Structure 1
């Protein structure tokens, strides 16, 4: 059964997937709140939408150049009014370089509702081995 929380999470995650596959860090960052926090699969913490966008543009131009990602919503639920938590499975395929191959990750996002729209406030990404 599709729920409103699933639809919100799916819209945000589809935007991330589209941005990644276009190698567009600015577009990737646009899904995040101004004061968002992002923990990478390497355990690095990026704070602010601008830092998240810049960090992703850097990897799109280097270690993940030419890569593609696919996200799947595993579950989502509202934990407070205007706050959603969702778990996402990610599959990244890198065609070349030191990280060539297919990698799987599990992410947790927290999305918050503003007057205009929903944005990701927190994203924690974990590499699955």
Structure 2
């Protein structure tokens, strides 16, 4: 599967609230680090946990992904840096969340995944003066795609 196809499949799974389809993008033995630093192992775990998220705090949410950078590491082994915008219509996380994800992809499946929220809260320690070019607007890149 191409990078574009993988991201489209991830968006579609998220936007339809389908935990089975979401987990299908990940290798059986994947390691997934969520935006809060929790480590989740295996696509079967992701299937269950994400379905719970889709049915509760992220119900009706929409995800938009865009490639910031790709790096080829070997035969069909790629490191992707992907920016995202998540719109949550209601509930405890209502509003727009932005962030950066790092995906290690082989044979069209995600082996390893790291999610990081982008903080724009000026009261958050160290955020003042932070170089925002790390999180470009959709459709732009902070550095060339390899």
Aligned residue pairs, count: 119
Provide the aligned C-alpha RMSD in A: 1.1
What whole-Å deviation, never above 9, does each CA across 1:11-38 have from its counterpart, x for those lacking one? 1111110000000000000011110111
List gaps (5 residues or longer) in structure 1.
1-6
Instruction: Tell me the SS of whatever aligns to 1:99.
Output: coil
Larger Rg: 2
Select 2:72's aligned residue among 74, 78, 97: 78
Identify unmatched segments of 5+ residues in structure 2.
Answer: 120-146
Aligned to 1:4: none
Indicate which of 1, 18, 24 corresponds to 2:18: 24
- The Cα of 1:82 is off from its aligned counterpart by 2.2
Query: Higher strand share goes to which structure?
Result: 1
- Aligned equivalent of 1:110: 104
Per-residue deviation, 1:93: 0.4
Q: What does residue 88 of structure 1 align with?
A: 82
TM-score by length of 2: 0.79
